[in-house]
Chain A
């Protein structure tokens, strides 16, 4: 039986992309905080990724590539535009100075708190902080991978991550 190049490409894409489905969905939901929008976002991400799959360089990081497409799609969505318009992303280059000074009462609090409390503190973070925290802690991406997914330099990853941790700690202290 002859198999077309298109079919082969679709099979390769499925093999790489579908194992990421649940994680991408979870990440997308954290961004949109709405099921319908999440489903639209994930569906569009997969459609765009399949269309652009021929431009994906084998051997490079497919996961970061998928997250980048999802995130760019989100940023151009209505919710994404609204979120980024209301969240200033200034002072990112001063990351080292922003490193959290926590004496970690928040850690003690987290230990005692239930998941809902942590979840609502994450919910309450601005999108830029929420996404970087989730990519680092939940997706366990390296700084380099996060930089690739968010299209930002590694230094900015560090400063943004540091700020996100500090903001989360502040929210948990309340």
Chain B
């Protein structure tokens, strides 16, 4: 079996239970081994399926009340008089409003997390593929025109002559049923994905700021510019990801 010693520990790695030095070694291996990366992706999907399927049973409200009573949870005191009732009504409104805001915040955070997970999956799945790009060229003047007529927008790509980055190529990708551009850049031994979609594709992920964030062990940077939404995903350092983002931003504004 290919990479047998790594694969025997793959579940422990994905459970986040390896010692930190082994986690780092594993990170590096998964990034450089297509077979282990594909296996890791499949197992992450399995974990997600179990997680979704496992949240299955919900207690009845009446049963919850029964348990609360049995452990002595105090019943809500009844309020007497109009003054108290008005105060209670105002508090209830504030509470409902607050809950609504909290709920929406949580929902938005969850959608955002799911969106970033999907992009990280796209990044890993693409790198694990035997043909990660459909247009193979380091020349931006070859890659950019390749997208013509395939996606409903156009974009500029940076000149990389004086940088450490090199363009590997590009492919069409889909996110939330919307087509976009997926470009692969190389920096030393790291490969970074640049996703470009029309702005508004995912309202929960419209980051106005563009600070590098660490999500799912990847560094990511997102921003909106000129009606397009950009997302860089990769295992390179935060400063490298940011440097690529700056190059793209400059080319987009030129």
Contact = CB atoms under 8 A, between A and B. Distances in A.
Interface of A: 7, 10, 13-14, 17-18, 21-22, 25-26, 29-30, 38-39, 42-43, 46-47, 50, 96, 99-104, 106-108, 110-111, 113, 115, 118-119, 122, 133-134, 136-138, 140, 142-143, 158, 161-162, 165, 168-169
B11 A138 contact: no
B11 A100 contact: yes
A122 B46 contact: no
A122 B50 contact: yes
B53 A22 contact: no
A118 B17 contact: no
A112 to B, nearest CB: 10
B114 interface: no
Interface residues of B, number: 35
Contacts of B73: 10, 14, 18
27 contacts: A10-B72, A14-B73, A18-B73, A25-B57, A25-B58, A29-B57, A30-B54, A30-B56, A43-B67, A46-B67, A47-B71, A100-B11, A102-B39, A103-B39, A104-B39, A107-B42, A107-B45, A110-B45, A113-B49, A115-B49, A119-B53, A119-B54, A119-B56, A133-B50, A138-B50, A143-B15, A168-B50
A173 to B, nearest CB: 12
A115 to B, nearest CB: 5
A106 B39 CA distance: 11
Interface in B197-239: none
Interface in B158-182: none
Given A42-B67, A46-B70, A143-B17, A138 B59 contact: no
Nearest to B41: A107
Most B CB atoms within 10 A — which of A43, A115, A137? Answer: A137
Given A118-B53, A133-B50, A25 B59 contact: yes
B51 interface: yes
A165 B11 contact: yes
Contacts of B59: 21-22, 25, 39, 42
B17 A26 contact: no
Given A38-B57, A43-B66, A122-B54, A110 B71 contact: no
Give the interface SS of chain B, mostly helix, strand, loop or mixed.
Answer: helix
A110 B46 contact: yes
A40 B63 CA distance: 10
A140 B52 CA distance: 12
- The 9 A-B pairs at the shortest CB distance, nearest first, are namely A107-B42, A138-B54, A29-B57, A118-B53, A104-B42, A25-B59, A137-B50, A110-B49, A99-B8
Nearest to B47: A137
A142 to B, nearest CB: 7
A151 to B, nearest CB: 19
A43 B70 contact: yes
A158 B17 CA distance: 10
Given A99-B8, A118-B49, A168-B50, A10 B71 contact: yes
